[in-house]
Chains A and B, each alone.
Chain A
Amino acid sequence: MSARIGHQANERIVERAHNRPDNRPQNRTNELRPDLARISDWIAPGARILDLGCGDGVLLAHLARTRQVRGYGLEIDPDNVAACIQAGINVIQADIDDGLADFATGAFDYVVMTHALQALVRPDLVLAEMLRVGREVIVTFPNFGHWRVRLALLRGRMPLTPALPSQWYDTDNIHLCTLDDFEALCREFGWSVLERALLDRRHGTGKLIGLAPNLFCENALYKLRRPGA
């Protein structure tokens, strides 16, 4: 029955939530992580937002506080859901891989997803759904074109890097891509890239990234819009 399949999927995604490369749940008293700070710069005040895989709700809480943003997080891990609820953040317990059919077209100004794209069963379909539900989409992912990854493969081994710390057999990252792969997908579907921020491991921008982005960017942030939106 579908219930059983759903349950297995849940376990997988729960695992993913715990193993995110940047381990999103973090101490709320800390400064906002630099990539999240950058995302919030991309969001207009007072917007309506859907945050896919919202973790403990740190981004939504920050946006609500600083930009009067109203929104909801989608999250699958029960501990994160409980943390959001206790913090007064609107959270809906759901599996992103089940799609966004529960949300109407154009229901949100922004749909955001940080560091979950590569763990989805069909990232292309989820991106298309995000662009249906949101006027604009903000998505982040680790760049598989980074030189450390290439070097590992040249040596004949799957990469183990700071951005991709899990072994090939137990990683939750099943659909990794390079910057060029991602932009090719955007071109193929006609999604326009409104903004992009290419960051290193410490979420900084360096000269090298400017020279050869697909070699030196470790953490990519994109803001997309669908044609005609």
Chain B
Amino acid sequence: MSTAVDRGLASSPPNAATAATDSVGVVVPRAIEISQPLLLDCGRSLPQHSLMIETYGTLNAARSNAVLICHALSGDHHAAGFHAADDRKPGWWDSAIGPRKPIDTNQFFVVALNNLGGCRGSTGPTTINPETGQAWGPDFPIITVRDWVRSQALLADQLGIDCWAAVIGGSLGGMQVMQWAIDCPGRLKHALVIASAPRASAQNIAFNEIARQAIISDPDFHEGRYAAVGAKPSRGLKLARMLGHITYLSDDAMRARFGRVLRGGGDGRFAFNYEVEFEVESYLRYQGQSFVDRFDANTYLLMTKAIDYFDPAREYGDDLAAAFAHAQAKFLVIAFDADWRFSPERSREIVNALVVANRDVSYAVIDSPLGHDDFLMPLPEYQAVLRGYLQRVAGELAA
């Protein structure tokens, strides 16, 4: 624990886990065992599976204040707080989840999980296949957004939550939110879809395919069985992540952040070689490298495929409004004006379909400094919308 004295003396900020009053503090993840078999879209089934979760706040007596957080491509169950008092960084959406934050843990019981197929402890390519006693690796079935929703619904059963006060997610997380509203209409009151799209575009799929090819063509990939031979397709995974990071920032944001600035200050002369020279190269390499240290290549392949396959309108004659016709949740859709990965126009497709389906929906476009990455940022305008909406949701619980 930090004391007033060492806080005053420390040159770096006091450790955030204990100092911040709007943090959920130190949290402990736990594994939830789902023993019901899960039939997957691909036709295979998992007899049982395990999901890593974290929860923040307290479930009320009526079990009506639960909020589900759905994560994006590289997210996990560690959405808020710290795992240890000396952690340098909090969970991935700590900016929005905590006491008095927009997703207020004084009001809501917040559940975050690592999705099936993930690599942070939930059943997935890195866990043991009980049939073989070996890690699943590339033999793990490809999971769809619908499969995730089925798995999350089993999780809700296990936690005794019949109906979520809200299901919330950004990007690929937003796709899960839409699927929840379509597949389990009676099990959520509000659907918050942030920086998402009703289906992946050809351009989205194209980027995902390059990411996958980068991984698959790495000589260390070994057809996905890299772990068995003690290898890791680090170069491919790094390239995939570098590519992803280009799509998370707008052209303007990249220009503002890196411009053509050369690394190291130097005398401004070109080096005429292929080492890191421009700041933006350094940024991408850093992002790529740090990702390799914490992520699994087979999971990355699986996650990108889940995005590509997501298309809830498909089974409704390509009519998204028909897909939403049975939804009962009220929707909040949020987009960021500089986001080109899932642009505001894509969010507007969701809104338009909801209007045709006569659903309650509000839509906000946030003035965005970064682009797609902004859905994780504490932008005042964004937080005001999120907070305002969820305060109303909390008010309904009290009523």
The residue of chain B having its C-beta at the shortest distance from the C-beta of A48 within the complex is: B358
Contacts A82-B385, A107-B355 given; does A91 touch B392 at CB 8 Å = no
Does B364 contact A78, Cβ atoms closer than 8 Å?
yes
The residue of chain B having its C-beta at the shortest distance from the C-beta of A76 within the complex is: B365
Q: How many A-B residue pairs have CB under 8 A?
A: 59
Does B363 contact A104, Cβ atoms closer than 8 Å?
no
6 inter-chain pairs at a CB distance below 8 angstroms, sorted by A residue, are A72-B355, A85-B362, A87-B392, A92-B361, A104-B356, A107-B356
Q: Is B60 an interface residue (CB 8 A)?
A: no
B3 to chain A, nearest CB (A): 40
Contacts A91-B362, A91-B363, A92-B363 given; does A85 touch B388 at CB 8 Å = yes
B365 to chain A, nearest CB (A): 5
Does A86 contact B391, Cβ atoms closer than 8 Å?
yes
CA distance A82 to B380 in the complex (A): 11
Does B389 contact A85, Cβ atoms closer than 8 Å?
yes
Q: Is B183 an interface residue (CB 8 A)?
A: no
Partner of B355, one of A7, A93, A103: A103
The residue of chain A having its C-beta at the shortest distance from the C-beta of B252 within the complex is: A3
The residue of chain B having its C-beta at the shortest distance from the C-beta of A108 within the complex is: B355
Does A82 contact B356, Cβ atoms closer than 8 Å?
no
Q: Is A188 an interface residue (CB 8 A)?
A: no
Q: Tell me which residues from 93 to 132 in chain A have a Cβ below 8 Å from any Cβ of chain B.
A: 93-94, 102-104, 107
CA distance A70 to B351 in the complex (A): 16
The residue of chain B having its C-beta at the shortest distance from the C-beta of A88 within the complex is: B392
Partner of A81, one of B338, B361, B385: B385
In the complex, chain B residues whose CB is within 8 Å of the CB of A89: 362
How many B residues, CB 8 Å from partner?
24
Q: Is B106 an interface residue (CB 8 A)?
A: no
Q: Tell me which residues from 330 to 367 in chain B have a Cβ below 8 Å from any Cβ of chain A.
A: 332, 337-338, 348, 351-352, 355-356, 358, 360-367
The residue of chain B having its C-beta at the shortest distance from the C-beta of A87 within the complex is: B392
CA distance A107 to B392 in the complex (A): 28
Candidate in A78, A94, A107 with the most chain B CB atoms within 10 angstroms: A78
Does A92 contact B362, Cβ atoms closer than 8 Å?
yes
Does B388 contact A93, Cβ atoms closer than 8 Å?
no
In the complex, chain A residues whose CB is within 8 Å of the CB of B362: 81, 84-85, 89-92
Partner of A93, one of B356, B360, B365: B365
List 17 extra interface pairs beyond A82-B385, A85-B388, A107-B355, CB under 8 A: A3-B338, A48-B358, A81-B362, A82-B364, A85-B364, A86-B388, A90-B361, A91-B362, A91-B363, A91-B364, A92-B362, A92-B363, A102-B348, A102-B351, A102-B352, A103-B355, A104-B356
In the complex, chain B residues whose CB is within 8 Å of the CB of A104: 356
How many A residues, CB 8 Å from partner?
24
What are the 9 A-B residue pairs with the smallest beta carbon separation, nearest first? Answer: A86-B388, A92-B363, A93-B365, A82-B384, A85-B388, A91-B362, A85-B362, A102-B352, A93-B364
In the complex, chain A residues whose CB is within 8 Å of the CB of B363: 91-94
> What 0/1 pattern do residues 376 to 388 of B give for CB contact below 8 A with A?
0000010011001
A57 to chain B, nearest CB (A): 10
CA distance A70 to B384 in the complex (A): 25
Does B361 contact A78, Cβ atoms closer than 8 Å?
no
Does A90 contact B360, Cβ atoms closer than 8 Å?
yes
In the complex, chain A residues whose CB is within 8 Å of the CB of B381: 78, 82
CA distance A86 to B367 in the complex (A): 19
Does A70 contact B358, Cβ atoms closer than 8 Å?
yes
The residue of chain B having its C-beta at the shortest distance from the C-beta of A4 within the complex is: B252
CA distance A102 to B363 in the complex (A): 13
Does A85 contact B355, Cβ atoms closer than 8 Å?
no
CA distance A88 to B362 in the complex (A): 9
The residue of chain B having its C-beta at the shortest distance from the C-beta of A72 within the complex is: B355
Does B388 contact A82, Cβ atoms closer than 8 Å?
yes
B366 to chain A, nearest CB (A): 8
